Amino acid sequence: MNLKITEQKRVSRPDIAFCLIREEGTRRVFFGSSDAKIHTLDLTDEKPEDGAFESDQGHQSYITGLAMARPGVLVSGSYDRQLAWWDCKKRSLIRKLPAHEKWIRKVVSSPNGKLIASVADDMVCRLWNSTTGELHAELSGHAPITPHDFPSMLYTCAFSPDGQVLATADKTGQIVIWDIASKKQITTLEAPIMYTWDPRARRHSIGGIRSLAFSPDGKSLAVGGMGKVGNIDHLGGQARIEVFNWEKQESIAAIETGSVKGLIQCLAFHPDGNWLLGCGGDGKGCAVLIDPAKWEIAVELQTQYHIHDFLLNESSDEIFAAGHQSIGTLGIEAV
């Protein structure tokens, strides 16, 4: 695999962008911010002009999840425990509802667009009707307390490509696989190395599974986080990706970086399964390209900023990234 990743464009910002959605067929992005607002930029412009969604009734804290309910309508989730529906053209609020009892960590839409999944630190995944906002299902399968008697966190979720299965993952490294039709648990997987507990100096922990991605055929599930950490006050562990055959409950690959460190915050497979991309970071950012033929690292790149979320364009040769004080693009090309 002879590919390279290059940073192409970076728009510096005063805030942190946690989550990202792109308007299909364009280079216009919407992102959730640490300033509790949704912003939009057109990255085609030489100097993109910020367009904030202004609403007195909007979120009151970090916006950490964004999903497209249908063309022109966004759903956002926040540390304020609320879900909100937005009209993109008018940049106005459609509805807002109390969704969780603790911080919302991730919001995703199903492949057919009919459901919105949200996960939060109340350790519950909830499925919502994307059009009406009505609660469709509540999935509870993660322990609220870690083995060391501290509150856990439910960081992320992902739908399978056919939309029949949903995966959720938590701070201790547990993954639960759900059947959408029956609303029941299918199986569980474990990636405990992604969780570091310090029993002596600080009685504190770090890590957890921060990202999930199903392969295009739905048979493999990639899990992103960080390896074991010496100093739990810093994201100083090697970036780590583990891949499972989830139906057989088998780990088929465990990959740790060499030159870059930090959390793998977001993952995506190439639509044809040609590669797996993970991005994240520690103080700086990282992008890691994996060759699925060997489950080996093909490219490691340290980026200028910690990447919290990314999306691919239609041809999968451009990465739209949101992160620490930055929105930008990276390119993937053959060499």
C-alpha closest to that of 322 among 113, 85, 34: 34
Q: Which two tokens stand for residue 310?
A: 């990314």
Amino acid found at 126: R
Answer for the pair 264, 225: CB distance below 8 angstroms, yes or no: yes
Give the residue numbers spanning the domain of 313: 3-334
CB 179 within 8 A of CB 186: yes
Distance of CA 5 to the CA centre of its chain: 20
Instruction: Give the per-residue pLDDT at 283.
Output: 83
Number of domains in the chain: 1
- What is the model's pLDDT at position 140? 97
Residue by residue, pLDDT tens for the chain (335 residues) are 799 999 999 999 999 999 999 999 999 999 999 999 999 999 999 999 999 998 888 999 999 999 999 999 999 999 999 999 999 999 999 999 999 999 999 999 999 999 999 999 999 999 999 999 999 999 999 999 998 888 899 999 999 999 999 999 999 999 999 999 999 999 999 999 999 877 765 566 778 999 999 999 999 999 999 998 877 666 678 999 999 999 999 999 999 999 899 999 999 999 999 999 999 999 899 999 999 999 999 999 999 999 999 999 999 999 999 999 999 999 999 98
Provide the CATH number for the domain around residue 138.
2.130.10.10
In the numeric block, the tokens 């949200």 are attached to 118
Rounded CA-CA distance 207/174 in Å is: 12
Q: What is the pLDDT of residue 196?
A: 85
